[in-house]
Amino acid sequence: MDPDAVKSTLSNLAFGNVMAAAARNYQKEVLANEKAQGSNPVNEEVDVDELMDDPELERLHADRIAALKREVEKRESFKRQGHGEYREVSEGDFLGEVTRSEKVICHFYHKEFYRCKIMDKHLKTLAPRHVDTKFIKVDAENAPFFVTKLAIKTLPCVVLFSKGVAMDRLVGFQDLGTKDDFTTNKLENVLLKKGMLSKKKKEEDDEDAEYQESIRRSVRSSENLDSDSD
């Protein structure tokens, strides 16, 4: 996320425009779904102002805004540490890179090895998905000291660091089915089980589902009130 995008996001959050737009878009979606199902509600109009005044929805709005602000700030902090992208580092920079971040995934590779290129492709995909983990790679030919120190014998070798300590590793494709056609999701699941990636994404998806369900309940409540008043 570039600085301009972050500034724009924070500005929208400050004025609450994101939440108002979400409510309006959901209103349109609900009405469209009702028409598609052949329903014939007594009163199809939903007052967005009344929807936004719902206490439960207001609380969820405030919580969501605060969570989004914290997420933006955290992502920017991680990016300043070199997270969010798959980068090559030199032997001279290696020690600083693995000790400055809590979780680091480092691929020791050889530029001529086909399997190293396969691993590169998957790690490059995962890096922006998991900003709380740093993804780097080191040319094994140009880092003889650490190759020896870490007893790296087979490439590709992905060493997993936690707080600067090498806790585990993936040697070749042994943990990935031993074949070249493993998927990015397969690698992601292996790294999740080894504790190198965060499971927060699922929790955030659950929060989003709860938020959307609250909007649905508020819309139904508003429609029922309109119907009763008639």
pLDDT digits over 109-163, tens only? 999 999 999 999 999 999 999 999 999 999 999 999 999 999 999 999 999 999 9
Strand order in 86-88's β-sheet? 86-88, 134-139, 103-109, 157-162, 165-171
Torsion sign across C-alpha atoms 12, 13, 16, 22: positive
CA distance 37 to 5: 39
Please check the confidence at residue 223 and state whether its pLDDT lies above 90: no
Amino acid identity of residue 191, one-letter, is L
Contact assessment for residue 146 and residue 89, using Cβ atoms and an 8 Å cutoff: no
Q: How many CA atoms lie within 13 A of 24 on its CB side?
A: 7
Where do runs of H (alpha helix) occur along 173-229?
184-193, 200-229
Q: For residues 214 and 212, give the distance between their C-alpha atoms in angstroms, rounded to a whole number.
A: 5
**82: amino acid identity, one letter:** G
Q: What is the pLDDT of residue 58?
A: 74
185-203 burial, b at 16+ Cβ within 10 Å, e below that, comes to: eebbebbeebebbeeeeee
**Band of residue 198 on the pLDDT scale cut at 50, 70, 90:** confident
Contact 136, 196 (CB under 8 A): no
Model pTM above 0.85: no
